[in-house]
Amino acid sequence: MNKIDLHIVSFDVPYPPTYGGVVDVFYRLEALSKLGVKIALHCFQYGREESKVLSELAEQVYYYKREKRLKDLFSSTPFIVKSRENNSLLKNLMKDSSPILFEGVHCTIFSNHPQLQGRLKWIRMHNVESHYYSFLAKQANSWFKKLYYLQESKKLKKYEKNIKGVSGLFCLSQRDCNFFMDYYKDVKYLAVFFEGLIIRTDSLVVSEKYALYHGNLDVEENIKAVEFLKQVFSALNWKLIVAGNSTNNRVKKIIKKASNMELIASPSKEKMNSLIKAAHLHCLPTFQNTGVKLKLINSLLNGKRVLVNQNMITENHLESFCELAEDVSDWRRKVSSLMKSTMQEEELKERKDFLLEIYDNQKNAKLLLESLAEVR
């Protein structure tokens, strides 16, 4: 068996990288693999298939069933953690003494297990999960979901502040770093990993006269954003394209009678990239200020003008590149103004160069490895 340099325990199968959390996991795995790191990848499986792509990036890939037992809802341990308690994972982690990177609090059930004492163990924090579940509770459309999210938030609030047996945390935003620094000695900022670094430089300033909203259109947060934008564009003559993964008709019903809105449901990767690049303006409101918004970073790197509300700004270094608006009337004014303006190529290049310095997958993979080496 080949020597393993690092174990990565993922809360989900990170391929294909089609939503926020697994995007970060997959492109970090890819970057580490390019650096020659021998990885044992452990994936919890609940709806996603095994992947040949992952086998090409990791020396070993293990899949585990996520057990969603009713009794675990009544455990004092958060359900997202308890449902990933799998003894086969523990046995596989015990095969050597290599460092372990837990992807999210979800995977930390064995962080303080006696059989893993003395091992170097870090957590890649994907969120302040207690805050995220509190938001989900507010948005839930059934009493059962609301109760579940509230209970999970309460459990996570206690759990995520006191995870035993770990060497430190990597956070994907400075705001999350500030939160966890009150509870852990070693907390480091590690920028999100994603594909958005592949920038096409041809015809940077050429655009089509439409605004774009893009995201997973099955997610409640994004559906609310589309409802908000419908109010904004109902009094405007500019066209808004709404694009993203969609498996239901909710967004279709929202924009059905809006003559200046178009839905492009589940576009190909190539089509989405083309829409992002050609849009004259990106309109990205959100009503949830947790996590890092990959759609914002992607739009700033690959698109042109970007209009957001304050909730979308989760990292201070992004704010100077965005236009801000809050209520409907403010959005209408800003959209009308920005659709008539044009970005200069120098401005786009300056923005891209600045962001590429921060969101450089290979550089950040090296920083991760250096942090692991520091404490060995």
Task: Walk along the chain (376 residues) and give the pLDDT tens digit of each residue.
Answer: 468 999 999 999 999 998 878 999 999 999 999 999 999 999 999 989 999 999 999 999 999 999 889 899 999 999 999 999 999 999 999 999 999 999 999 999 999 999 999 999 999 999 999 999 998 998 888 899 999 999 999 999 999 999 999 999 999 988 899 999 999 999 999 999 988 655 554 445 556 789 999 998 988 889 999 999 999 999 999 999 999 988 888 999 999 889 999 999 999 988 998 999 999 999 999 998 877 888 999 999 989 999 999 999 988 889 999 999 999 999 999 999 999 998 888 888 899 899 989 999 999 999 999 988 875 5
Per-residue confidence (pLDDT) for residue 1, from 0 to 100: 46
Is 227 a domain residue? yes
Pairing state between β 239-244 and 261-265: parallel
Q: Do both 305 and 332 map to the same domain?
A: yes
Range of the domain at 271: 197-357
Per-residue confidence (pLDDT) for residue 376, from 0 to 100: 54
The residue written with tokens 């990933």 in the block is: 84
pTM of the model: 0.90
The amino acid at residue 200 is: R
Q: Do both 230 and 317 map to the same domain?
A: yes
CB of 96 closer than 8 Å to CB of 118: no
Beta strand segments in 126-238, E: 168-171, 187-189, 208-214
Per-residue confidence (pLDDT) for residue 62, from 0 to 100: 98
Q: Do both 235 and 213 map to the same domain?
A: yes
Q: Do both 247 and 162 map to the same domain?
A: no
In angstroms, the Cα distances linking 221 to 195, 227, 288 are 23, 10, 7
Per-residue confidence (pLDDT) for residue 288, from 0 to 100: 86
Number of domains in the chain: 2
> What DSSP character marks residue 165?
T
Q: Do both 160 and 56 map to the same domain?
A: yes
If residue 314 lies in a helix (H) or strand (E), which one and from where to where?
none
Q: Do both 256 and 337 map to the same domain?
A: yes
Q: Do both 226 and 176 map to the same domain?
A: no
Per-residue confidence (pLDDT) for residue 2, from 0 to 100: 65
Separation CA 153–CA 27 (nearest Å): 28
Burial of 61 (0-12, 13-18, 19+ CB in 10 A): buried
Is 1 a domain residue? no
The residue written with tokens 């993979």 in the block is: 365
Neighbours of 29 (CB within 10 A): 28
Per-residue confidence (pLDDT) for residue 375, from 0 to 100: 57
**What SS3 class is residue 282?**
strand
Q: Do both 158 and 228 map to the same domain?
A: no
**What SS3 class is residue 308?**
strand
Per-residue confidence (pLDDT) for residue 343, from 0 to 100: 87
CB of 227 closer than 8 Å to CB of 254: yes
Is 321 a domain residue? yes
